[in-house]
């Protein structure tokens, strides 16, 4: 690898490809055919993507959107674009058409790599916008009639035909590597500008203190556009020479079967995917999980009872709560040196990061408050949003919007989002704590708590719950259980039993839908 590439995130696994070229880097389960890609092949294919776009005339700094599902083409494109100095813009392929158009316009994307099976609307929007570079992945199933004509699109497979790729390694003029979009809890999607320098610092410093073994097999079942997948599995595995297995989508039974058949040693994801498997304990008892050593849960509030249930079901594996965010990396980690992280904690301040808690009244160094963090990997800012950038980044400190408390030993405990906490008759309620009480009931496998309006108290907790198969528990029983196992003011006044919690595209509970459903439930005791 040329010295000029060492500062480019697109090349961060090229040394690994030279060291272990024949080792399997990615197992791709998209479609009916299982595909394996070696480190050398993945490195070559990333170079082909870079060479193709340079040959088409794309200049450093141009934005190229990725609307691709969970397949190897996403990974090779994501890093290959950076090698040519282009900025990857990974987008959620399941967005509504209006959101897709907004993000493509807002990012200033001049091109798109489209997986039409994952995002049928992508061709319509890209054609409407007249994007200069339009590349389409081959469909493994017949395209639905009525789709946009694809005469002006170039086949993705053509990128890999012909002689060896030739291109000039570049960096984007402003040092931006990629620009994901995040909506946070509310509002329009926001482009997050992430720099090569900061992302490389994050990978290298993490692997120095918490190295990934080359023998690991990490299973990815959450969308690749989400930070949980890339930061938690793909990047550390590519850096270390370990194997990554990509599931095209999450389905509880398929997830369990793949976890066992691929001999995965670890898997990370949002709480919802692990809550859903609790309904399939008979299947779990028949599968071999002897290779499994670690389950990492993050990207949302992790109920304590969920961790206990997973420890019971997978006694051979450690269950760890993680914390990280698109804009600021992973400022909390398990301590180096052998100290055990207490249950419910995301760890201590990671080496190289600065962290402080700021109370509601602005007091810094509080025991409970909003987490602020500063490090080389904090975002460069929000694209086209200078006012929001000034509000959220203060003297290099990122205001995360996440509430934590810290104990005397320096361990941090996630309480929820600043805008999740609400007051019920003067008492502060954290939905996570109410969910943990509900999950303590033997018949409950999943729960989501949100505030609903109340004429006297302002807001009161309401809960949507999922029961184990065959359970006959009802909402009144669960209200009584909450009253007897938690503070009276925090018990849910409305309980709705459902087959599954509605999720958004990133695998987190869709709280807007949940609130609307709970508004229709007859309230109980006030």
Does an H or E element contain 453, and which?
strand 444-454
Question: Tokens standing for 153?
Answer: 């699109």
- The DSSP-derived string for 117-166 is TT-THHHHHHHHHT-SEEEEPPPSSPPPTTPPP-TT-EEGGGGGSSS---
Question: Tokens standing for 266?
Answer: 């670890």
- The DSSP-derived string for 275-295 is HHHTT-HHHHHHS--TT--EE
Phi/psi at 513 (5° precision):
-65, -40
Neighbours of 363 (CB within 10 A): 11
- Sequence-ordered list of residues with C-beta below 8 angstroms from that of 310, at least 6 positions apart, any chain: 274, 295, 317, 319
pLDDT in tens, the chain (526 residues): 444 578 999 999 999 999 999 999 999 999 878 999 999 999 999 999 999 999 999 999 999 999 999 999 999 999 999 999 999 999 999 888 999 999 999 999 999 999 999 999 999 999 999 999 999 997 765 544 334 457 789 999 999 988 889 999 999 999 999 999 987 544 688 999 999 999 999 999 999 989 999 999 999 999 999 888 999 999 999 999 999 999 999 999 999 999 999 999 999 998 888 988 988 989 999 999 999 999 999 877 777 788 888 999 999 999 999 999 999 999 999 998 878 999 889 999 999 999 999 998 888 988 999 999 999 999 999 999 999 999 999 999 999 999 999 999 999 998 888 877 787 877 778 888 888 899 889 999 889 999 888 877 778 899 999 998 888 899 899 999 998 998 888 899 999 999 988 887 666 788 888 988 898 776 754 3
Burial status of residue 391 (CB atoms within 10 A of its CB: 0-12, 13-18, 19 or more): exposed
Q: Are 505 and 457 in contact (CB under 8 A)?
A: no
Q: What are the b/e assignments for 62-75, b being 16+ CB within 10 Å?
A: bbbbbbbbbbbbbb
In CATH terms, the fold of domain 422-519 is: GMP Synthetase; Chain A, domain 3 (3.30.300)
Q: CA 360 to CA 418: how far, in whole Å?
A: 10
| pLDDT at residue 145, rounded to an integer | 36
Phi/psi at 296 (5° precision):
-115, 125
| pLDDT at residue 149, rounded to an integer | 59
Q: Which residues pair with 497 in a beta bridge?
A: 465
Q: CA 306 to CA 503: how far, in whole Å?
A: 17
Q: CA 10 to CA 436: how far, in whole Å?
A: 41
| pLDDT at residue 146, rounded to an integer | 38
Q: CA 131 to CA 113: how far, in whole Å?
A: 11
Question: Tokens standing for 82?
Answer: 């950076």
Strands (E) located in 265-395: 266-269, 294-297, 318-321, 332-333, 348-349, 354-358, 368-374, 381-382, 393-394
Place of tokens 């599954």: 500
Neighbours of 188 (CB within 10 A): 12
The domain over range 39-178 is classified in CATH as 3.40.718.10: no
Q: Are 444 and 438 in contact (CB under 8 A)?
A: yes
Q: Comparing C-alpha atoms, which of 268, 273, 266, 217 is closest to residue 240? A: 217
The residues of the chain that CATH labels 3.30.300.30 are: 422-519
| pLDDT at residue 524, rounded to an integer | 56
Q: CA 100 to CA 29: how far, in whole Å?
A: 26
Strand order in the sheet with 444-454: 444-454, 458-467, 494-498
| pLDDT at residue 341, rounded to an integer | 92
Q: Are 297 and 321 in contact (CB under 8 A)?
A: yes
Q: CA 236 to CA 218: how far, in whole Å?
A: 10
Q: Are 85 and 171 in contact (CB under 8 A)?
A: yes
For 266-309, write each residue's pLDDT tens digit: 999 988 889 889 889 899 999 999 999 999 998 777 777 888 88
Q: Comparing C-alpha atoms, which of 446, 186, 431 is closest to residue 301? A: 431
Burial status of residue 166 (CB atoms within 10 A of its CB: 0-12, 13-18, 19 or more): exposed
DSSP state of 489: G
For 80-116, write each residue's pLDDT tens digit: 999 999 999 999 998 889 999 999 999 999 999 999 9
The residues of the chain that CATH labels 3.40.50.980 are: 39-178
Question: Tokens standing for 73?
Answer: 């083409």
């Amino acid at each position: 690898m040329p010295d000029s590439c060492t500062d480019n995130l697109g090349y961060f696994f090229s040394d690994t490809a030279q060291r272990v070229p024949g080792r399997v880097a990615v197992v791709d389960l998209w479609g009916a055919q299982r595909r394996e890609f070696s480190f050398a092949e993945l490195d070559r294919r990333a170079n082909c993507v870079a060479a193709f776009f340079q040959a088409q005339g794309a200049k450093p700094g141009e934005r190229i959107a990725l609307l691709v599902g969970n397949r190897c083409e996403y990974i090779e494109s994501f890093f290959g674009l950076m090698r040519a100095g282009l900025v990857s813009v990974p987008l959620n392929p399941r967005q509504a058409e209006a959101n897709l158009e907004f993000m493509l316009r807002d990012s200033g994307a001049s091109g798109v790599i489209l997986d039409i099976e994952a995002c049928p609307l992508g061709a319509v929007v890209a054609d409407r916008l007249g994007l200069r570079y339009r590349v389409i992945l081959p469909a493994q199933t017949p395209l639905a009639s009525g789709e946009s004509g694809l005469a002006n699109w170039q086949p993705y497979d053509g990128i890999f035909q012909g002689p060896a790729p030739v291109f000039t390694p570049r960096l984007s003029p402003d040092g931006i590597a990629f620009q994901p979009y995040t909506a946070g809890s509310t509002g329009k999607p926001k482009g997050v500008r992430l720099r090569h320098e900061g992302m490389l610092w994050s990978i290298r410093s993490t692997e120095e203190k918490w190295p990934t073994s080359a023998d690991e097999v990490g299973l990815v079942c959450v969308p690749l556009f989400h930070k949980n997948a890339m930061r938690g599995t793909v990047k550390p595995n590519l850096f270390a020479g370990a194997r990554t297995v990509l599931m095209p989508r999450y389905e509880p039974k398929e997830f369990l079967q793949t976890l066992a058949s691929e001999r995965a040693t670890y898997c990370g994801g949002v709480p919802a995917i692990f809550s859903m498997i609790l309904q399939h304990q008979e299947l779990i008892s028949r599968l071999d999980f002897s290779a499994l050593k670690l389950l990492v849960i993050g990207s949302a509030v992790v109920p304590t009872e969920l961790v206990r249930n997973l420890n019971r079901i997978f006694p051979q594996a450690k269950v760890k709560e993680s914390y990280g965010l698109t804009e600021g990396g992973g400022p909390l980690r398990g301590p180096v040196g052998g100290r055990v992280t207490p249950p419910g904690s995301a760890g201590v301040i990671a080496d190289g990061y600065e962290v402080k808690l700021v109370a509601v009244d602005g007091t810094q160094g509080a025991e409970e408050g909003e987490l602020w963090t500063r490090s080389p990997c904090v975002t460069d800012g929000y694209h086209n949003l200078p006012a929001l950038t000034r509000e959220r980044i203060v003297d290099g400190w990122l205001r995360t919007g996440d509430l934590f408390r810290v104990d005397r030993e320096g361990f941090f405990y996630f309480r929820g989002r600043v805008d999740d906490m609400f007051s019920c008759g003067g008492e502060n309620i954290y939905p996570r704590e109410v969910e943990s009480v509900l999950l303590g009931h033997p018949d409950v496998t999943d729960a989501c708590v949100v505030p609903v309006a109340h004429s006297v108290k302002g807001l009161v907790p309401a809960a949507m719950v999922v029961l184990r198969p065959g359970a006959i528990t009802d909402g009144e029983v669960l209200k009584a259980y909450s009253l007897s196992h938690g503070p009276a003011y925090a018990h849910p006044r409305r309980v709705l039993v459902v087959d599954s919690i509605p999720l958004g595209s990133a695998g987190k509970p869709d709280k807007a839908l949940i609130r609307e459903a709970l508004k229709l439930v007859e309230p109980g005791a006030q």
